[in-house]
Structure 1
Amino acid sequence: MVSSTKTIVISGYYGFKNSGDEAVLKSILTALEEQGKAAGIKIEPVVLSINPEWTSSMYGVRAVHRMQLGEVRRAIQESDGLISGGGSLLQDATSPKTIPYYLAIIKIAQWLKKPTFIYAQGVGPVNRKIFNPMIRSVFRKCSYISVRDIQSGELLQSMGIRSEDIHIVPDPVMGMPLPEQNNEELADLSVSGEEELPVIGISVRFWDKERRELNAIADALTDLARKRPVHLRFLPFYQPEDEQASQYIADKMGDITSYGGKISFYREEQEPQDMLLEVSRCDLILGMRLHSLIYAANQRVPLIGISYDPKIDHFLKRLDSAPIGSSQSLVPADLTRHLITMLDSLEAWKEEHSAQITQLKQESQNPARHIVEFLGNRR
């Protein structure tokens, strides 16, 4: 039984059709709905998006343009609070404008006397020290702070945020379910079920200007294909760049059918859960994109990470793992050996990491639970 309705504005990197960030939004919306139902509270989200029409159509929620600050202010004014997150919002590696924007959105809510919640963010890197006092000032006024890894928490502590005010939680996507129409219908569509070849899902992106990591991956996969037949399934998480990076590797590899293998591309994604389903069909994931690795863990698919950013290392550490290499240093022979080792021990990997993954999935609901409880106690 619903006892009240609460409107919450959600700020993040939404509407850009980046599969990982859209998965974060889908996961937050799902968790808020589930926790709201459990508490007898109807949560009405309003999403700040670069493409409000698309976001509204995709998720069935109200959305306003994230760059129309008049609309943003009105939405926050009419709400019961603001969520900032998840994802890597507070970092200046991609642009010096990112941190000021997201802090400004939180500050608007605080000026309007609305509670503000930091939802499973990955904080950093923050290379420009001028941002530290800005983050400290805004975060100290937040009603709840959660970050997705210990390192983000330590960075906030170094800026002057008390450790007791910081909650370490998993990435929200650890709790995202498969599409509702799965089970028998979707089992019939399983990629790995169509053939005897092991399916390796591959998520890559452009990062190193000289493409050293992509060249190394191409060399390693070519060597692997010579040694055993595999189905290499490229999974572009961000269009069109990731598909171009994938095609770059495929072009370098050439035809592997003479070795009994095959290469394919997944291009049918309509929403984040589609990609999650595609990952679930793979036997092994080789990923640069953080959320390719999180999707794999979500579905208990063995994974190998290649680091281009500390967030990759931080997530893998939660699984007592480490990247096989980085965008600056990746040895093809090492990657080939590791791929073969993993292919020969898939069930052992699943058994070894089962308890960790179960705990991460359960804990991924903590921010939504806390926020719903907070809103439920406000009259």
Structure 2
Amino acid sequence: MTSGSETPVRVGVFGLLGSGNLGNDGSLEAVLGYLRADHPEALVDALCGGPEVVTSRYGIPAMRLHWYRGEYRTASRAGAIAGKGLGKLVDVVRTAAWVRRHDVVIVPGMGVLEATLPLRPWGFPYSLFLLCASGRLLRTRVALVGVGAAAIGNRPTRALVRWSARLAAYRSYRDTQSRDAMRKMGVDTARDEVYPDLAFALPTPPEWGIPCSELVGELGEAPSGPPDAPGPVCVGVMDFHGGNDDRARAEQIHRRYLDGTTRFVRALVEDGRPVRLLTGDACDAPVVAAILDAVDSPLVTAAEAASLADLMKETAAADAVVATRYHNLICALKVGTPTLALSYAAKSDALMDRMGLAAYCHPAREVDADQLLEQFRALEKQSAELRRTLAERNLIATGQLESQFTALTAALFPAADHARPHARQEAP
């Protein structure tokens, strides 16, 4: 499998990619950047949720994750139920056949080992289990790279996730608590490592801001406090209904989240602040529409982000960010914008702690607009100091992800030339 071998290494990427979730696609983009830099000879294709999007956007062949096209629609009629059941059987053969064509399969990032959002065991957990079991049976190395994990209450889901992790040839996690959760679920994590989220490996075009190394120096003597004329605020929203264990009170959680977030946006507008609403998934659009309708001000606009690069551009232009979705937070933190997390899961708290902003978290399940506004004002008062902290933490994250890619090459491409340094993807 050297770079000069006659038979190029065949690499598959797997997951809910191209399905409208910008974070998932950002993780894919980071892994493709690594493969193109360090293993340009590799033949790459995908088994994913949105094959047409993946092919058109990233230029790699892709096939649909599920045989049954109505997989994620609620099945109430007999025909739909039968179709789903048959699809589960057909997917056993389809997944195994796809895995067999590859030397390596990579699951790039994503919260594939968690159930922090509503999740059925026979959906993605079943698909992941089929992948990892096929890899073990067919001797194709399956790597779970920089993934998220969390304790799972539902027994079938927990069993599928646990066995998927056990059967994988390589595992790394995006935070320590993910590794701890898998250990508590019975997975031997002694050789598993923790690295920053893969999205931190994405390029940050220089026109969006000062490079981290320069920013550290320039902010060393910067005055504290917000600017004299406060600028725009990005507010990242989410179609949030709680997690897998909150189904009984999902609507109550959603109403409280939407009401609290709307009141917060209205308070910003009353202070004369322009507000830019961000999303991270196609399903978030109704939340944006509800806030725009409730606030009804020309100061509130909605961004149309199609990628993490778009989100980085939006957050770089803001004075501050308040966001719910995990990868909205990452984009804001990566470009060095002071950020407050509406935290819906422990992974958000862990991310904020890693980046030195642990004090700026607010529970998404219990949004208190008054308290949130108070936290936001405290955040802005520390703007210069927080920007310096973020610049320093981003430099650390970049170095740690270099180590992640080096470890991945050693684990998955044992015959590759390790003397060649990892070539980072440059911004256009």
Q: Which TM-score bucket, shorter chain as reference? A: 0.7 to 0.9
Matched letter for residue 112 of structure 2: L
Matched letter for residue 319 of structure 1: M
Change (3 A) 1:51 1:331: closer
Matched letter for residue 139 of structure 1: A
State yes or no: 1:221 paired with 2:265.
yes
Change (3 A) 1:137 1:125: closer
State yes or no: 1:162 paired with 2:199.
no
CA distance in 2, matches of 1:130, 1:54: 31
Residue 44 of structure 2 aligns to a residue whose secondary structure is strand
Cα contact 1:146–1:169 (8 A) shared by 2: yes
Worse-superposed segment, 246-255 or 144-153: 246-255
Counterparts of 1:61-210 in structure 2, within 5 Å, are 61-68=60-67, 69=91, 70-92=93-115, 93-96=117-120, 97=122, 98-178=124-204, 183=207, 198-208=231-241, 209-210=251-252
State yes or no: 1:357 paired with 2:394.
yes
CA distance in 1, matches of 2:189, 2:107: 19
Paired residue for 2:321, among 285, 308, 312? 285
Shift of 1:76: 1.9
State yes or no: 1:50 paired with 2:49.
yes
Residue 3 of structure 1 aligns to a residue whose secondary structure is coil
State yes or no: 1:276 paired with 2:275.
no
Q: How many residues align?
A: 355
Change (3 A) 1:281 1:109: same
Which 5+ residue runs of structure 1 have no aligned equivalent? 186-195
The normalised TM-score by structure 1 is 0.85
Change (3 A) 1:328 1:53: closer
Change (3 A) 1:141 1:51: closer
Worse-superposed segment, 269-278 or 346-355: 269-278
Matched letter for residue 175 of structure 1: A
Change (3 A) 1:32 1:322: farther
The normalised TM-score by structure 2 is 0.76
Paired residue for 2:406, among 363, 369, 378? 369
Cα contact 2:14–2:47 (8 A) shared by 1: yes
Q: Which residue of 1 aligns with 2:35?
A: 32
CA distance in 2, matches of 1:56, 1:306: 33
Cα contact 1:82–1:116 (8 A) shared by 2: yes
Matched letter for residue 186 of structure 2: G
Residue 373 of structure 1 aligns to a residue whose secondary structure is helix
Paired residue for 1:346, among 383, 390, 409? 383
Paired residue for 2:295, among 229, 253, 259? 253
Cα contact 1:65–1:72 (8 A) shared by 2: no
Matched letter for residue 31 of structure 1: Y
CA distance in 2, matches of 1:18, 1:142: 24
CA distance in 2, matches of 1:299, 1:238: 20
Worse-superposed segment, 161-170 or 148-157: 161-170
Shift of 1:109: 1.5
Matched letter for residue 344 of structure 2: Y
- Percent identity, please: 17
Alpha-carbon deviations, 1:80-106, whole Å to 9, x = none? 111123111123442222322212111
